[in-house]
C-alpha cells in the first residue's frame, strides 16, 4: 500500500509536468553542474499547492522523476552509440517484495542470454524463470529484437520454483506447459469421451477438427492457469494464460469472436498483472480490457439485458463485469484520469453490494449437501433467497445432465454410423436401428450391415438381399478384407509399412485418404494396444488440479476485489 501511495503522488506530478510542458532534464531545473535545488524546491512548492500534496512528498516526486528522465537520456545515448539496450527487470518471487534491476544487452542476443543474466543475478535456475515482454513469454531461441523488445522496456521476470527442494521436481514443473499441450492433443480427437467442447448449457459445440485441437489446447492451458490463480500462484497462472493466448491466436478470428472464452482469458491476464503489481504492463492490459468489454457486451448486452432475457437473471455473469470495471478503473487511475476512475469505482461499489452473499445462507445450502461454489452461484442468481437458490441449483443440474445425456447419445449414434459406413448412394449412413431390427430377426450383424449398405437402408430389400447373398459368419466381411488387401500396396508405395497400412485401413473402414492422413499424423505408426492406456494416463494428469465444477469461472468470492477497491478509493478520497 505504501508503494501505491508513492505511485499516486508520482502519477499526479508526472501528469502535471507533461501538461505544463516542463522538462526536468533541461535548464533551469538541470544545469551543467547538476540539479538546480532552488528551482526544484520552487516547483515542488507550486505543485504542492496546486495538487494539494504535502511539500516533502511533492519534492521527492519531482526529484525522482528528474532522475528517471536523466537515466533514460543516458540509456538512449548509449543505445544510439553502441546498440546496447538497457532493460529494466522486475523480479517477482512469491511472498517477497518485487525487486527492480537494470541490465544492459544487445537486442540481437537470444532470449536465452537474457534469461542467463537474470539467473546469475537472482540465483534462480534458468529452468525456473519465465520472462514476459509485450504480453508474451520471451522465447529462448529467438533474438530479443525479433520478439519486439525495445531499449528502456521493463521485463517481468517470474520465478516458478517456490518451495521446491528437488531439482527433478523443478524441471518437471517447468515442463508442465508442454505436458498439458501434449496430453490435450492426444485427447482432443472426436472419437473419445475424455474431452468435449460444450456451451454453457452443456450442449456439444461442433467445429472443424484442426480448429478443435488448437481451441482445446488453449482451453486446457487456460484451465490450468485458473487453477493456479485460485491458489494465488499468480506467476504460474500468468505463464499458463500467456501460452493459452498464443494457442488461441491460431484459431479462426470468427470463432474467437463468437465465444467469450478469449475475453475471459484477457480478463484473467489483466487480473494477474494487477495481483503481481505490474503497473508497467498497463498499456497491454488496457487493450485486453477493451477487447474483453466488446465481447462481453456482444454476448451479454451492455447492461446484461441479453443475459436476463435468456436466463432471467444477471447474477453470476455480473461478477465478470464487476472485475472488468474494477480493472478499467485502476488503469484509468494510473493514467491520472481520476474522475473517470472514481465513477467506475463507485459503480463497482454498487455492484459489490448487489452481489454480496450472506454467509449464513451459504452455510445453510452447504448443510443441504451443495458445494460452496454451487451455493454461492445459486444465491447470486436468485438474489439471496435460500429456497429459490436450492431450486435453481437442482434445475441447473437437471438441465445440464439432460443436455450431456443427449449429446452422449448423439455421439454414440454418430460413432456407430461411421463404423457401419455409408450406403451405396453415398448420401446416408447405414442406420444402426435398422441393423438391430435385422439382427433381432435372426440375421448376423455383418450380413445386416452389408445388406442395408447395398440396399440404401430399405429393410424389405435388405432381407431379400441377405437371402440371395448369404455372407460369411465372420465379424469382418470378405468384402472389407478384399478392400483392405487391395489398398495396402497404395500406402506401401507411399513409403508406409504394410502392417501399419493394414491397421490404418481397418480403422478407417477402407478410406485410403483418411488412412494416409492417420499414418502421417502418427509418424507412420498405429498403436492399437496401448493407446487407450496412454489416453487414460493423459486424462488423469490433465484433470488432477482442474476444477470440474460447472461455471467455476463465475465463482468469485469478490474479497480481493473489495480489498483493491478500498485501497484505490482511499487514494481518491483521502481521509480529512
Check whether 310 has a pLDDT greater than 50: no
Lowest mean pLDDT among 5-14, 350-359, 376-385: 376-385
Shared-domain flag, residues 60 and 12: yes
Check whether 45 has a pLDDT greater than 80: yes
Shared-domain flag, residues 346 and 431: no
Unique residue bearing C-alpha cell 542470454: 113
Is the residue at 277 inside a domain?
yes
- For position 510, what pLDDT does the model report? 66
Domain stops at, among 130, 159, 188: 159
Shared-domain flag, residues 48 and 87: no
Lowest mean pLDDT among 219-223, 305-309, 512-516: 305-309
Q: 519 in the Ramachandran plot: left (φ > 0), alpha (ψ -120 to 50) or beta?
A: alpha
Shared-domain flag, residues 349 and 375: no
Q: How far is CA 312 from CA 309, 381, 382, 383, 517, in A?
A: 6, 9, 9, 12, 47
Check whether 116 has a pLDDT greater than 80: yes
Shared-domain flag, residues 282 and 312: yes
**DSSP output for 509-569:** TT-HHHHHHHHHHTTT----SSHHHHHHHHHHHHHTTS---TTGGG----HHHHHHHHHHH
User: Quick check: pTM over 0.95?
Assistant: no
Q: 225-255, pLDDT tens digit by residue? A: 888 888 888 888 888 898 888 888 877 766 6
Is the residue at 371 inside a domain?
yes
- For position 129, what pLDDT does the model report? 87
65-75: burial string, b at 16+ Cβ within 10 Å, e else: bbeebeeeeeb
Query: How far is C-alpha 362 from the geometric centre of its chain's CA atoms?
Result: 29
Q: What angle do CA 180, 185, 186 make, to 5 degrees?
A: 100
Q: 428-447, pLDDT tens digit by residue? A: 889 989 988 998 888 888 88
Q: β-pairing, 84-93 with 154-159?
A: parallel
Check whether 66 has a pLDDT greater than 80: yes
Domain housing 504? 475-526
| More confident position, 358 or 176 | 358
> Taking Cα atoms as reference points, which of 284, 296, 184, 199 lies closest to residue 238?
284
Is the residue at 37 inside a domain?
yes
CA–CA distance, 26 with 74 (Å, rounded to integer): 14
Is the residue at 166 inside a domain?
no
The SS3 of residue 52 is coil
Q: How many domains does the chain have?
A: 6
Average of per-residue pLDDT values in the chain: 80
Shared-domain flag, residues 276 and 351: yes
Longest CA pairwise span in the chain (Å): 111
Shared-domain flag, residues 56 and 93: no
- For position 475, what pLDDT does the model report? 40
Residue 169: pLDDT band with limits 50, 70, 90: very low
Check whether 541 has a pLDDT greater than 80: no
Long-range contacts, stretch 36-42, CB < 8 angstroms, 24+ apart: 40/66
Question: Could you tell me if 376 and 557 are in contact, meaning their C-beta atoms sit under 8 angstroms apart?
Answer: yes
Shared-domain flag, residues 383 and 435: no
- For position 221, what pLDDT does the model report? 86
Shared-domain flag, residues 310 and 351: yes
- For position 210, what pLDDT does the model report? 66
Residue 257: pLDDT band with limits 50, 70, 90: low
Q: 320-346, pLDDT tens digit by residue? A: 899 999 999 999 999 999 999 999 999
Is the residue at 119 inside a domain?
yes
CA–CA distance, 159 with 130 (Å, rounded to integer): 7
Residue 501, C-beta contacts closer than 8 angstroms, at least 6 positions apart: 487, 488, 491, 492, 515, 519
CA–CA distance, 3 with 377 (Å, rounded to integer): 35
Is the residue at 62 inside a domain?
yes
Share of the chain above pLDDT 70, in %: 76
Shared-domain flag, residues 386 and 433: no
Shared-domain flag, residues 306 and 320: yes
CA–CA distance, 197 with 188 (Å, rounded to integer): 9
- For position 249, what pLDDT does the model report? 80
Is the residue at 49 inside a domain?
yes
Residue 549: pLDDT band with limits 50, 70, 90: low
Is the residue at 229 inside a domain?
no
Residue 521, C-beta contacts closer than 8 angstroms, at least 6 positions apart: none
Shared-domain flag, residues 34 and 90: no
The SS3 of residue 188 is coil
Amino acid at each position: 500500500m505504501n508503494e501505491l501511495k508513492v505511485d499516486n503522488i508520482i502519477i499526479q506530478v508526472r501528469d502535471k509536468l507533461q501538461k505544463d510542458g516542463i522538462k526536468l532534464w533541461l535548464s533551469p531545473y538541470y544545469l551543467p553542474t547538476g540539479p538546480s535545488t532552488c528551482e526544484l524546491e520552487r516547483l515542488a512548492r507550486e505543485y504542492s499547492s496546486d495538487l494539494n500534496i504535502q511539500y516533502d512528498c511533492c519534492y521527492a516526486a519531482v526529484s525522482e522523476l528528474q532522475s528517471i528522465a536523466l537515466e533514460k537520456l543516458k540509456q538512449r545515448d548509449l543505445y544510439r552509440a553502441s546498440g546496447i539496450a538497457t532493460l529494466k527487470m522486475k523480479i517477482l518471487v512469491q511472498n517477497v517484495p518485487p525487486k527492480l534491476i537494470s541490465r544492459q544487452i544487445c537486442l540481437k542476443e537470444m532470449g536465452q542470454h537474457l534469461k542467463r543474466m537474470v539467473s546469475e543475478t537472482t540465483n534462480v535456475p534458468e529452468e525456473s524463470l519465465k520472462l514476459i515482454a509485450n504480453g508474451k513469454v520471451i522465447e529462448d531461441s529467438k533474438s530479443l529484437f525479433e520478439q519486439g523488445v525495445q531499449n528502456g522496456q521493463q521485463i517481468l521476470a517470474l520465478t516458478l520454483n517456490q518451495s521446491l527442494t528437488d531439482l527433478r521436481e523443478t524441471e518437471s514443473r517447468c515442463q508442465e506447459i508442454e505436458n498439458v499441450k501434449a496430453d490435450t492433443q492426444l485427447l482432443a480427437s472426436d472419437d473419445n469421451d475424455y474431452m468435449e467442447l460444450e456451451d454453457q448449457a452443456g450442449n456439444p459445440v461442433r467445429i472443424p477438427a484442426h480448429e478443435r485441437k488448437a481451441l482445446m489446447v488453449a482451453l486446457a492451458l487456460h484451465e490450468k492457469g485458473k487453477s493456479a490463480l485460485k491458489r494465488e500462484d499468480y506467476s504460474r497462472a500468468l505463464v499458463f494464460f500467456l501460452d493459452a493466448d498464443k494457442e488461441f491466436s491460431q484459431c479462426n478470428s470468427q470463432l474467437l469472436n463468437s465465444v467469450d472464452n478469449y475475453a475471459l482469458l484477457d480478463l484473467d491476464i489483466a487480473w494477474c498483472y494487477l495481483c503481481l503489481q505490474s503497473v508497467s504492463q498497463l498499456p497491454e492490459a488496457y487493450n485486453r480490457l477493451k477487447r474483453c468489454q466488446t465481447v462481453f457486451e456482444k454476448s451479454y448486452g451492455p447492461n446484461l439485458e441479453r443475459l436476463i432475457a435468456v436466463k432471467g437473471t444477471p447474477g453470476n455473469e455480473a461478477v465478470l463485469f464487476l472485475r472488468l470495471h474494477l480493472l478499467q478503473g485502476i488503469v484509468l487511475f494510473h493514467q491520472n484520469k481520476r474522475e473517470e476512475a472514481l465513477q467506475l469505482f463507485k459503480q463497482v461499489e454498487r455492484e459489490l453490494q448487489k452481489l454480496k452473499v450472506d454467509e449464513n445462507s451459504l452455510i445453510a445450502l452447504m448443510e443441504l449437501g451443495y458445494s460452496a461454489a454451487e451455493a454461492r452461484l445459486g444465491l447470486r442468481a436468485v438474489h439471496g433467497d435460500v429456497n429459490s437458490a436450492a431450486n435453481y441449483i437442482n434445475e441447473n443440474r437437471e438441465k445440464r445432465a439432460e443436455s450431456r445425456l443427449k449429446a452422449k447419445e448423439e455421439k454414440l449414434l454418430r460413432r456407430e454410423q461411421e463404423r457401419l459406413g455409408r450406403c451405396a448412394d453415398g448420401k446416408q449412413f447405414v442406420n444402426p436401428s435398422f441393423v438391430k431390427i435385422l439382427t433381432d430377426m435372426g440375421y448376423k450383424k455383418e450380413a445386416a450391415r452389408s445388406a442395408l449398405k447395398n440396399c440404401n437402408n430399405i429393410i424389405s430389400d435388405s432381407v431379400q438381399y441377405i437371402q440371395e447373398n448369404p455372407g460369411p459368419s465372420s465379424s469382418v466381411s470378405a468384402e472389407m478384407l478384399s478392400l483392405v488387401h487391395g489398398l495396402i500396396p497404395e500406402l506401401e508405395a507411399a513409403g508406409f509399412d504394410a502392417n501399419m497400412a493394414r491397421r490404418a485401413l481397418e480403422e478407417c473402414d477402407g478410406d485410403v485418404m483418411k488412412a494416409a492422413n492417420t499414418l502421417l499424423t502418427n509418424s507412420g505408426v498405429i498403436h492399437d494396444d496401448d493407446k487407450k492406456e496412454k489416453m487414460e494416463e493423459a486424462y488423469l494428469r490433465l484433470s488432477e488440479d482442474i476444477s470440474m465444477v460447472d461455471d467455476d469461472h463465475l465463482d468469485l468470492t469478490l474479497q480481493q476485489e473489495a480489498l483493491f477497491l478500498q485501497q484505490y478509493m482511499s487514494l481518491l478520497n483521502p481521509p480529512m
